[in-house]
Every structure is written in structure tokens, then in C-alpha cells.
Amino acid sequence: MGASHSTLMNTHWEKVVDTARAEAFRDSLDEVNRRLKELRPDVAIIVGSNHFRGFWLDLIPPFTLGVGEVVASGESGTPKGPQKTDPVFANDLATYLVEAGSEVAISARLQIDHGQSHAIQYLLTDLDIPVVPLVINVFAPPLPTLERCAQLGRRLAEAIEAHADGRTVAVIASGGLSHQLPWPSNWADPQDDDEKFMVDAWLNGRGEWERFDKRRREIILAAQPCLFEDFDRRFLADLEAGRLEDYLRLSTAELEEIAGNGGQELRTWLVMAAALGFAPGSTLCYSPMPEWLTGMGVGVIEPNTAGDTT
């Protein structure tokens, strides 16, 4: 399954003008949670981003797998503290991926933020299962190509089949849909005081990200919403039709032009869809939410439509 995330869902619900849109998105998250409870997965792989609370410009790999401790930062009402993990399974996945030619960095103590903990909060409610975070660099150019992300997803499916040992595995994509964040387009060349502050936070936040968070939040909240609703609806229609593989031809610049810089998070959906063989899926919800700065969507690909893929 894939689902958008936004901490503003936690902190700015009362600012929503048309609550029906917000409630539709929340209800779709509840529906995924209900389906997962029926499925009773043994482990969830969460493919998501990180908003410079666990990664900084001093070191950002394209792909990082959490293979040991996983600690959520807890910003804006999201889960905080250690999360349940399965280090043996996670290390088996990492070994398979590297040996298959999809090099991933590993972290034995990975700090995640709402780019993944939003999914834990809303999709894995009351499930009490271990999570394996897979973090995609979507914010610090140069970004991994969309084709490389799909290749990772395909090999992730192979790794799951090789090491699941009868366990049921859910693959969750967290991020997108379209949105535009008030972040520097080029971290190496910030243009004003806000951009310089952001780059400073991205470079020097290790171990003290909270020191930068208040002003970061102010900059985000001052941003004008910028959604690309036509793109979002087309993307979800293509998910339903099994056509997400068509997006692999896009460059990073082309994706930003049609979906905003936050649309780079759609790499997480492409990893998930590739792991499920780009099989046709279903859209549970699309809610354009300018109050949350994001086009919010939820989609599902059922395992039994994906051939032999776990």
C-alpha cells in the first residue's frame, strides 16, 4: 500500500476548511489498517523519506535499510522512541540486495521521522509488528533515478521471497503526492536567509535537530500551498491500471516540474509498486489538502494480483 504523510494532519486539523476531504483521507488510512489487521502480517517494510531529522548533508546515501535499532523522532505528535524491529530479517534483506547488485547502506541505529512514523501511527495501529525501514533520499540532490528505485523494488521482492520463511510481509510506501516545500532548490547555493537557515539545519542537525525545528516549522507553515491535482489523479489512475512503470522514464527535474519538489517522494510508491510487479491496484482516496500543503492519496496493490511476488 502507499499513503501520503503530513504532520499537519496531527497539528492543523482544526484549520481544515472542508472537513469531508480530511475525513475521507483519515478514513482511508483506517481502511488500510483494517485490511492489515485482517491480513495479520508478520512484518512491515516501510519505504519512506527522511526530512533531515535522521539524515544530514554530512552523509546521505541514496538508499538506507534499518537493520538494527529504529528510533522515531516524535515530531508534531508522531510516534517517538524505539520501534519494534526484526534485525535478523532486515540483515538478510540487506545482504541479498547487496549481493544482487542493489547496494544499500545499512544503519544499526536508524532515526526515522514522520516520513515513516506517520505510517506506523496510522496504518499499523494496534498491530504490534516489527518494521524494517527503507529510506530513500528524495530531498538532497543528486537523487537516485526512478529506474534505480524500481530496480531496488524488484530486488526487494526477490529478497523477501528468499528470506520470508513463510511469514507474511506488508510493503508500505509513505510519501507524496504532489506538493511544493519551501526548501532550497540547490542546497549548495541558498538564495535567502530562510534557505541559508535550512541548509544550516540540514548540515548541522546531527544530534540536535530539535534546535532547528521551531524555525523550520515556521518556514513550512508560512508556505503557500502548491498542489498539482491533475497529476495526482493521473498518477492514481495509472496505479489502478498497472501503468506506474511508465514513470520510470522521467528525470528528477521532470518529476519536480509536474509534481513539485515534494513529489520526489513518489519514488517510495515506485519502489513498492515494483516490488509488487507493477500490478494493477486500487485507489482508496484522493483528497487535495492545501491546508496540509499536500495532495493526500492512498492506494493498495493486492498481493494476489502480483503473480508469484510475496
- Rounded to the nearest 10 degrees, the angle between the axes of helix 193-204 and helix 210-221 is 150
Q: What's the pLDDT band for 18 if we cut at 50, 70, 90?
A: confident
194-207 burial by CB neighbour count: b if 16+ within 10 A, else e? bbebbbebbeebee
Q: What is the mean pLDDT of residues 279-284?
A: 97
- Catalogue the E-assigned strands of 180-300: 282-289, 294-300
Cα distances (Å, whole numbers) of residue 16 to 11, 19, 241, 285, 290: 11, 6, 31, 17, 9
Element holding 172 (H helix, E strand): strand 169-174
Strand partners of residue 107: 66
How far is the C-alpha of 310 from the C-alpha of 303, rounded, in Å?
7
pLDDT, tens digit, 9 for 90 and up, residues 139-181: 999 999 999 999 999 999 999 999 999 999 999 999 999 999 9
Q: What is the mean pLDDT of residues 87-92?
A: 98
DSSP state of 224: P
Residue 207 has what pLDDT? 87
Contact present, 179 and 255 (Cβ < 8 Å) = no
Weakest mean pLDDT among 18-27, 45-54, 152-161, 297-306: 297-306
How far is the C-alpha of 285 from the C-alpha of 21, rounded, in Å?
9
Residues in the chain: 310
Residue 17 has what pLDDT? 82
pLDDT, tens digit, 9 for 90 and up, residues 30-70: 999 999 999 999 999 999 999 999 999 999 999 999 999 99
Q: What is the mean pLDDT of residues 203-208?
A: 91
Residue 282: pLDDT above 60?
yes
Residue 119: pLDDT above 80?
yes
pLDDT, tens digit, 9 for 90 and up, residues 37-48: 999 999 999 999
Residue 308: pLDDT above 70?
no
Element holding 270 (H helix, E strand): helix 266-275
Residue 304 has what pLDDT? 61
How far is the C-alpha of 52 from the C-alpha of 75, rounded, in Å?
12
Contact present, 52 and 139 (Cβ < 8 Å) = yes
Is residue 173 classed as helix, strand or coil in its secondary structure? strand
Percent of the chain with pLDDT over 90: 90
Amino acid at 46: I
User: For 67, phi and psi rounded to 5 degrees?
Assistant: -115, 5
Residue 288 has what pLDDT? 96
How far is the C-alpha of 260 from the C-alpha of 20, rounded, in Å?
25
Element holding 19 (H helix, E strand): helix 19-39
What value does the mean pLDDT of the chain take?
94
Residue 309 has what pLDDT? 41
